[in-house]
Amino acid sequence: MIRRFYVHNFRCLENFELPNVNRPSVLLIGKNGTGKSTLLHTIAGLLFPAQGRIEVSGFLPQERKPSFLQEVFMVPEEFHLPDVNLERLVKYQSPFYPRFNYEQFKKYVAEFEVPWDSTLQQMSYGQKKKALISFGLACNTSLLLMDEPTNGLDIMSKSQFRKVMAGSLDESKCVIISTHQVKDLENLIDRVTIIDEGNILFDQTTDAIANKLSFRVSFDSTEVKSAIYSEASLRGNAIVVPNTDGEEGKLDLELLYKAIVTNRQGVQSVFNK
């Protein structure tokens, strides 16, 4: 199984390593144009690095060896699917993935409420995306890459997505998700990596974040002034402060991202203690 990958000199991402942890689900965050989609496509072997190299579990993705391609599946933000029904999609595409599970696929499709007999071109964009996500999960590849998987999904579909993902993730898969809609994924992620212009600004497990930082609403002006990050809201001030009581609180990925972008030193100082 693919448990580690390395990115060498991808712009400024040098020796980026995904640790060998149980059921690693990595969230990749960054502003538009910072290289998230490019990184995922390059890891998948769909784009080639202009300099340096990317290595995935001993493979060079740009070589596109069958033994590598059968271990990676990517759900891109933009995609084109043939005008076939799901049965024919499975017939023509699943042979490329030795661990594809037909029953799992049917289960995911049913949970997503995707019409089984409709052709893909008759489906809405959201239905197509859910069909593609279902297929990618059923392939049971060691590495699953998702670029903005919840874009185009309505509120109920996002809830279905969280349920399906929570039930399908296990220690045999490494999942890397790039998204701006972080609220959809807060309970599914094991690690958060924030990049900007090819640089890694932050890379920590969610457990470490919950141990070191506290995200809450405060009405205390002194606490707000000393916070690592704060922003006014109708309910008070949302703040990010060091976790001094040792109790793990709820992770707020939006606040974390804003804190890293505006006060990276303040955040890193907490983790360096």
Give 83's contacts (C-beta < 8 A, 6+ positions apart). 119, 120, 121
Sign, CA dihedral 126-131-137-141, equals negative
- C-alpha 67/C-alpha 183 separation (Å) is 35
- C-alpha 234/C-alpha 256 separation (Å) is 19
Contact 237, 224 (CB under 8 A): yes
pTM for the whole thing?
A: 0.86
* Predicted pLDDT at 90: 97
Question: Which residues of the chain does CATH 3.40.50.300 include?
Answer: 5-197
- C-alpha 55/C-alpha 44 separation (Å) is 10
- Report whether CATH 3.40.50.300 matches the domain 5-197: yes
**What token pair was written down for 266?**
């303040």
Q: What is the tally of helices (H) and strands (E) in the chain?
A: 10, 12
Give the pLDDT band of residue 10 (cuts 50, 70, 90).
very low
Q: What is the pLDDT of residues 99-128, one digit of tens each?
A: 999 999 999 999 999 999 999 999 999 999
- C-alpha 166/C-alpha 257 separation (Å) is 23
Which position has the token pair 């239905």? 127
Q: What is the pLDDT of residues 196-213, one digit of tens each?
A: 877 788 999 999 999 999
Beta-sheet pairing, 25-29 with 191-196: parallel
Q: Which residues on neighbouring strands pair with residue 249, listed in sequence order?
A: none
